Amino acid sequence: MTVALFIQLLAAGVLLGGVYALISIGLTLIFGVMRVVNFAHGEFLMVAMYLSYYLVTSLHMNPYLALIVVAPGLYLFGLLVEIAIIKPTIGRSDVVQVFATVGLSIVLQAGALMAFSANVVGLNVPIANALLHLGWLTIGVPQLIAFLAAMAVAAGLFAFLGRTDVGRAIRATAQDRGAAALMGIDVPAIYRLTFALGSAMTGLAGGLLMPIYSVSPTVGEQFVLVAFVVVVLGGMGSVSGALIGGLLIGVVETFSGFVIDPQWKQAIYFLIFLIVLVVRPAGLFGVRGSEELSR
Amino acid sequence: MRRGAKYALIALAALAALFGPLLTHNSFIRDIWVLVAMWGAVATAWNLIGGYAGGLSLGHAAFFGIGAYTSSLLYLDYHLSPWLGALVGGVAAMLSALVIGFITIRLRGPFFALATLAFAAILGIAATNLRSLTHGAEGMTIPFAPSLAHAIFASKLAYYYIALAVLVVYLALTWWISVSRFGYYLVAIRENEDAAQALGIDALRVKLAATLLSAFMTALVGSFYAQYRLFFEPTIFATSLSTQIALFAIIGGLGTVWGPLIGAAILVPLANELQSILGSSLPGIDAFVYGALLVLAILFVPNGIISMVRPLFAERPLLPAGPVQAELEIEACAIEERS
HEC letters along A207-237: HHHCCCCCECCCHHHHHHHHHHHHHHHHCCC
Minimal-distance CA residue of chain B relative to A86: B299
**What percent of chain B has pLDDT above 90?**
23
Residue A290 has pLDDT above 60, yes or no: no
Tens of pLDDT along B117-150? 888 888 888 888 888 787 877 888 888 888 887 7
Rounded CA-CA distance B102/B220 in Å is: 22
3-state secondary structure of B200: coil
Residue B41 has pLDDT above 90, yes or no: yes
3-state secondary structure of B1: coil
Closest by CA to B242, choosing from B261, B258, B257, B222, is B222
- Please list the residues that pair with B152 across neighbouring strands: B147
User: E-assigned strands of chain A?
Assistant: 131-134, 137-140
Buried b (16+ CB within 10 A) or exposed e, B62-92: bbbbbbbbbbbbbbeeeeeebeebbbbbbeb
Alpha carbon of A290: minimum distance to chain B alpha carbons (Å): 10
Which of A35, A90, A94 is the mutation pick for testing B, counting most B CBs within 10 A? A94
Rounded CA-CA distance B219/B91 in Å is: 8
- CB-count burial class (<10 Å; 0-12, 13-18, 19+) for B204: middle
Closest by CA to B307, choosing from B262, B264, B269, B265, is B262
**Mean predicted confidence (pLDDT) in B150-163:** 85
Q: What is the pLDDT of residue A220?
A: 86
Partner A contacted by B114 (CB < 8 A): yes
Nearest to B108 among A103, A113, A292 (CB): A292
Tens of pLDDT along B65-107? 999 999 999 998 888 888 998 999 999 999 999 988 887 777 7
CA atoms within a 13 Å half-sphere pointing along the CA-CB vector of B283: 8
Rounded CA-CA distance B129/B126 in Å is: 5
Q: What is the pLDDT of residue A287?
A: 56
Partner A contacted by B146 (CB < 8 A): no
- CB spacing of A85 vs B295 below 8 angstroms: yes
- CB spacing of B118 vs A229 below 8 angstroms: yes
3-state secondary structure of A286: coil
Q: At what angle do helices A219-234 and A41-58 cross, to 10 degrees?
A: 130
Minimal-distance CA residue of chain A relative to B128: A263
Rounded CA-CA distance A212/A17 in Å is: 14
Q: pLDDT-based confidence at B62, cuts 50/70/90?
A: very high
- CB spacing of A113 vs B108 below 8 angstroms: no
Residue A182 has pLDDT above 70, yes or no: yes
Q: Average pLDDT of chain A? A: 84
Q: What is the ipTM of this complex?
A: 0.82
Alpha carbon of B110: minimum distance to chain A alpha carbons (Å): 7
**What percent of chain B has pLDDT above 70?**
90
3-state secondary structure of B152: strand
Sort out which chain A residues have CB atoms less than 8 A from B288's CB and list them: 107, 110-111, 113-114
How does strand B231-232 pair with strand A137-140? unpaired
Nearest to A103 among B114, B118, B298 (CB): B298
**What percent of chain A has pLDDT above 70?**
94
Largest CA distance in chain B: 69
Please say whether the dihedral angle defined by the alpha carbons of residues B324, B328, B329 and B333, taken in this order, is positive or negative.
Answer: positive
**Mean predicted confidence (pLDDT) in A125-131:** 73
Is residue A202 within 8 Å of A194, Cβ to Cβ? no
Q: What is the pLDDT of residue A235?
A: 80
Q: Class for domain A3-279, per CATH?
A: mainly alpha
Nearest to B194 among A85, A118, A295 (CB): A295
Rounded CA-CA distance A238/A25 in Å is: 8
Sort out which chain A residues have CB atoms less than 8 A from B239's CB and list them: 221
Distance of CA A195 to the CA centre of its chain: 13
User: Nearest 5°: phi and psi at A120?
Assistant: -90, 120
Residue A21 has pLDDT above 60, yes or no: yes
Q: pLDDT-based confidence at B339, cuts 50/70/90?
A: very low
Least confident of A71-80, A162-171, A234-243, B238-247: A234-243
Residue B279 has pLDDT above 70, yes or no: no
Buried b (16+ CB within 10 A) or exposed e, A121-159: bebebeebeeeeeeeeeebbbbbbbbbebbeebbeebee
- CB spacing of A292 vs B111 below 8 angstroms: yes
Is residue A62 within 8 Å of B272, Cβ to Cβ? no
Q: What is the pLDDT of residue B324?
A: 44
Residue B218 has pLDDT above 90, yes or no: yes
Q: What is the pLDDT of residue B313?
A: 59
3-state secondary structure of B141: strand
Partner A contacted by B97 (CB < 8 A): no
Residue B188 has pLDDT above 80, yes or no: yes
Distance of CA A88 to the CA centre of its chain: 24
Is residue A78 within 8 Å of A44, Cβ to Cβ? yes
Q: At what angle do helices A165-175 and A3-34 cross, to 10 degrees?
A: 80
Partner A contacted by B302 (CB < 8 A): yes
CA distance readout (Å), A35 to A30, A294, A295: 7, 17, 20
- CB spacing of B114 vs A96 below 8 angstroms: no
Fold of B2-338: ABC transporter involved in vitamin B12 uptake, BtuC (1.10.3470)
For residues B131, B137, B138 and B140, what is the CA-based torsion angle, rounded to 10 degrees? 70
Q: pLDDT-based confidence at A116, cuts 50/70/90?
A: confident
Residue B169 has pLDDT above 80, yes or no: yes
Rounded CA-CA distance B32/B159 in Å is: 12
CA R_g for chain A: 19
Residues whose CB is less than 8 angstroms from the CB of residue B231 and which lie 6 or more positions away in sequence, other chains included: B139, B140, B141, B142
Q: What is the pLDDT of residue B314?
A: 55
- CB spacing of A266 vs B125 below 8 angstroms: yes
Nearest to B103 among A98, A114, A274 (CB): A274
Nearest to B299 among A37, A88, A263 (CB): A88
- CB spacing of B302 vs A92 below 8 angstroms: yes
